Amino acid sequence: MPSNVVGELLAFGEETRGLKLPLTREERALVDVAEIFARDTIAPIAERLDREKSPLPAFVIAEWVRCGLHGMQVSPERGGAGASFFAKVAVAEAIARSCFPCAFALINMQGSVTRIEREGTAEQVERYLPNLMNGSLICAPSLSEPGAGSDFAAITTLATKVPGGWEITGEKAWITNGAIAKLLVLYAQTEPGSGGNGIASFIVDLEAPGIDKSPPYQLTGGLRSARALFASIA
Element (H, E) at 139: strand 139-142
Domain enclosing residue 153, as ranges = 139-233
Amino acid at 175: I
Q: Which of 24-33, 191-200, 213-222 has the lowest mean pLDDT?
A: 213-222
The answer on 148 and 117 residing in a single domain is no
Confidence (pLDDT) at 152: 86
Distance CA 132, CA 203 (A): 13
Q: Which of 106, 133, 160 marks a domain boundary?
A: 133
CATH for 44: 1.10.540.10
Residue closest to 125 by CA, chosen among 134, 138, 116: 116
Q: Which of 30-34, 127-131, 230-234 has the lowest mean pLDDT?
A: 230-234
Quickly state the pLDDT bin for 4 (edges 50, 70, 90).
Answer: very low
The answer on 98 and 122 residing in a single domain is yes
The answer on 129 and 144 residing in a single domain is no
CB 206 within 8 A of CB 179: no
The answer on 127 and 70 residing in a single domain is yes
Distance CA 221, CA 99 (A): 10
The answer on 175 and 110 residing in a single domain is no
SS3 54: coil
Domain count, the chain: 2
Q: Give tens-digit pLDDT for 115-127.
A: 999 999 999 999 9
Torsion angles phi and psi, residue 146, rounded to 5: -55, -30
The answer on 179 and 223 residing in a single domain is yes
Looking at the predicted structure, is the pLDDT value of residue 29 above 80? yes
Q: Give tens-digit pLDDT for 122-181.
A: 999 999 999 999 999 999 999 988 888 788 889 999 999 988 888 899 988 888 888 899
Judge whether 85 lies within some domain. yes
The answer on 103 and 170 residing in a single domain is no
